[in-house]
Each structure stands twice: as structure tokens, then as C-alpha cells.
């Protein structure tokens, strides 16, 4: 009984620590920027996939700098326990699962799981499923249920834009990426502004010197 209570308390502590680490909204802002940048791959001729990779490299660096400037001076810094390879393996396993499910559906419905046009048409649902999985995990780790809202919106909008018929197969993903990118940026901006308001920088006193 004592061990069970300790496990529950440990889970609450871990959730609180993780909740503190994500409540500044910077993750949403930079993922939104990444989604909007990825739209260029479908819109601009010659837009290399390396540009998207460059954004993915820039995002963690910029986020770290902003945390050092705006977040840590307000709430301090605590290094969370990192799962490392286990977390990466989980992400890759989930993405592989999504691909397998979609490929199976294409085989059963269209008898053509390797058709690139099908993958392009249903790519909004693919990205929606990935984003949904990410926010369900964040919800689980933080205990904040409002993340369910983003998860549901990501999936429903992805499915809707995949089902609708457009003149071009690219239209669905071209609409989806900036739409969800804007949603994430606006959500992150609201969270960041609220974070700065609720956590002013503590002024140094003679006792701190």
C-alpha cells in the first residue's frame, strides 16, 4: 500500500515537473513555425527538404535560447529525466504504426498501397495522426487535459481535408500545414504571454548579493 502511494506521488511529481517545462508555450510556437515552413516544400519549386531539416535544427537552438532568456530567470531550471533512445524508439514505432495502418487501408480500399497520389491526398490525415499522437503523449505526461483539444482538432481537420475533393492533390496538405501551424503559433503565443504575466522576473535584493 505504501509502495503504491509512493508510485502515485512520484507520478504526480513527474507530471508537475513536465507541466512546468511545457507551460511557456514555446514548443507550440516553434512547431507552428516548422509546419508553416514545411508548406514551402509543396508550394515552391526547388524548395529542398534540407530547408525543412534546417528549420528542425534551428528550432531547438532558438527555443533553448529563449528559455534561457525568458523562462529560467522566472521559474528556475530543472533537468527532467530523459528517456533518450526509448523515447525516440517510441516515436519511430508510432510513426511506423501510422504508416502501416494507412498502407493497409489503401490496400483494402484501393488495392494500391504504394500509389504516391493516394499518399499525397491523405497526407493531411497522416500529419494529423502524428500531431494527435504527440499531444496525447503530452497530455499524459503533463496531466493537462486541454491538450486533448489540439489533438482532436489536428486529427479532425486532417481527415476532413483528406476526404474533401480538390482540383489539385496538393491542396489538402497546403491548407492543413499553415492552418495547424497558425493554430499552434496562436496557442503558444497566448501561453507565452500568460506565462510572462504570471511569472515576473524576481528583482534582486541585498540578500541575493
* Backbone dihedral angles phi then psi of residue 194, each to the nearest 5 degrees: -65, -40
Judge whether residue 100 has pLDDT over 70.
yes
Distance CA 147, CA 62 (A): 23
The pTM for the full model equals: 0.82
Q: What is the mean pLDDT of the chain?
A: 85
Model confidence at 5: pLDDT above 60:
no
**Could you state, in order of their start, the residue ranges of all structural domains in the chain?**
2-198
Q: Tens digits of per-residue pLDDT, 11-52? A: 777 788 788 878 899 999 999 998 998 898 888 877 777 777
- Which conformational region is residue 84 in: left (phi greater than 0), alpha (psi within -120 to 50 degrees), or beta? left
Query: What does the pLDDT look like over 151-181, one tens digit per residue?
Result: 999 999 999 999 999 999 999 999 999 999 9
Residue of 123, 57, 120, 127 lying closest to 95 (CA atoms): 127
HSE (side-chain half, CA atoms, 13 Å) at 150: 28
- Spatial contact of 199 and 75, defined as CB atoms under 8 Å apart: yes
Amino acid at each position: 500500500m505504501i509502495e503504491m502511494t509512493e508510485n502515485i506521488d512520484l507520478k504526480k511529481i513527474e507530471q508537475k515537473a513536465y507541466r512546468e517545462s511545457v507551460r511557456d508555450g514555446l514548443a507550440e510556437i516553434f512547431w507552428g513555425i516548422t509546419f508553416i515552413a514545411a508548406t514551402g516544400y509543396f508550394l515552391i519549386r526547388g524548395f529542398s527538404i534540407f530547408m525543412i531539416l534546417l528549420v528542425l535544427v534551428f528550432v531547438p537552438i532558438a527555443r533553448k535560447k529563449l528559455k534561457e532568456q525568458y523562462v529560467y530567470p522566472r521559474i528556475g531550471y530543472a533537468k527532467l529525466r530523459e528517456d533518450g533512445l526509448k523515447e525516440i524508439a517510441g516515436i519511430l514505432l508510432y510513426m511506423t504504426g501510422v504508416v502501416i495502418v494507412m498502407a493497409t487501408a489503401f490496400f483494402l480500399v484501393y488495392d494500391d498501397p504504394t500509389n504516391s497520389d493516394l499518399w499525397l491526398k491523405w497526407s493531411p490525415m497522416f500529419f494529423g495522426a502524428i500531431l494527435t499522437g504527440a499531444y496525447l503523449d503530452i497530455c499524459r505526461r503533463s496531466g493537462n487535459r486541454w491538450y486533448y483539444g489540439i489533438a482532436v482538432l489536428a486529427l479532425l481537420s486532417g481527415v476532413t481535408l483528406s476526404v474533401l475533393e480538390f482540383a489539385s492533390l496538393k491542396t489538402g496538405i497546403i491548407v492543413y500545414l499553415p492552418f495547424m501551424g497558425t493554430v499552434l503559433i496562436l496557442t503558444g503565443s497566448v501561453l507565452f504571454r500568460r506565462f510572462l504575466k504570471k511569472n515576473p522576473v524576481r528583482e534582486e535584493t541585498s540578500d541575493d548579493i
